[in-house]
């Protein structure tokens, strides 16, 4: 069925899908922040900070995807396996949040159409190409549960820093609700 498909190619496609997912979240920022970030530090609930965070996280995933595709199995594969499951968890959370609120949360469409199918293909390839067992997938799942919030908050604080630096360079205010 997928004899010629490599994990690296699927992971890179998942990275591109994540960029589209992040764009969908950014476009629906007002709804997204209402659904997810009411309790965040006010400095992190800024649209520009959120945008910079999404750019930073997207760039990291795309770089990891290119390394995975070019280098093949290696150090990047360890990270990529965790990221695949983290994407799947994040996508399922978007879907669950939409069902619970009975409102389409930004990121749900791309989660359903892109992230979930590509993550499931990547999981299949992880089992086929790397011999991942249920035990290794469960371990990757547990690690992804720890990594996901760290990546999100790290990205947000990175976005805050980028926003602050840009404001310092341009002489504009760093905090803006828009």
pLDDT tens track for 33-45? 776 666 777 778 7
Would 176 be classed as within a structural domain?
no
Would 2 be classed as within a structural domain?
no
Expressed as residue numbers, the domain containing 64 is 7-162
pTM given for the model: 0.88
pLDDT tens per residue, range 91-147 = 999 999 999 989 999 999 999 999 999 999 999 999 999 999 999 999 999 999 999
How would you class 12 by CB atoms within 10 Å of its CB: exposed for 0-12, middle for 13-18, buried for 19 or more? buried
Residues 6+ positions from 148 with CB-CB distance below 8 Å: 86, 89, 90
Dihedral of CA atoms 34, 40, 46, 47 in degrees, nearest 10, equals -50
Dihedral of CA atoms 60, 62, 64, 67 in degrees, nearest 10, equals -140
Can you give the length of the chain in residues? Answer: 178
38-52, 67-81, 158-172: range with lowest mean pLDDT = 38-52
Would 30 be classed as within a structural domain?
yes
Number of domains forming the structure of the chain: 1
Would 167 be classed as within a structural domain?
no
């Amino acid at each position: 069925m997928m004899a010629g498909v490599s994990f690296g190619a699927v992971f890179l496609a998942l990275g591109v899908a994540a960029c589209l997912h992040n764009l969908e979240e950014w476009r629906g920022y007002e709804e997204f922040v209402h659904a997810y970030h009411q309790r965040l530090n006010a400095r992190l609930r800024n649209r520009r900070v959120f945008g910079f965070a999404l750019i930073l996280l997207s760039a990291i995933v795309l770089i990891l995807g290119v390394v995975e595709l070019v280098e093949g199995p290696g150090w990047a594969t360890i990270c990529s396996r965790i990221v695949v499951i983290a994407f799947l968890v994040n996508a399922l959370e978007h879907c669950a949040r939409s069902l619970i609120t009975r409102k389409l949360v930004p990121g749900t469409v791309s989660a359903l159409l892109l992230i979930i199918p590509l993550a499931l293909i990547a999981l299949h390839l992880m089992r086929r190409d790397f011999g991942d067992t249920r035990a290794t997938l469960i371990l990757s799942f547990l690690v992804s549960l720890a990594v996901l919030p760290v990546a999100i908050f790290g990205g947000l604080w990175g976005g805050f820093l980028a926003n602050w630096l840009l404001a310092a360079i341009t002489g504009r205010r760093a905090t803006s609700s828009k």
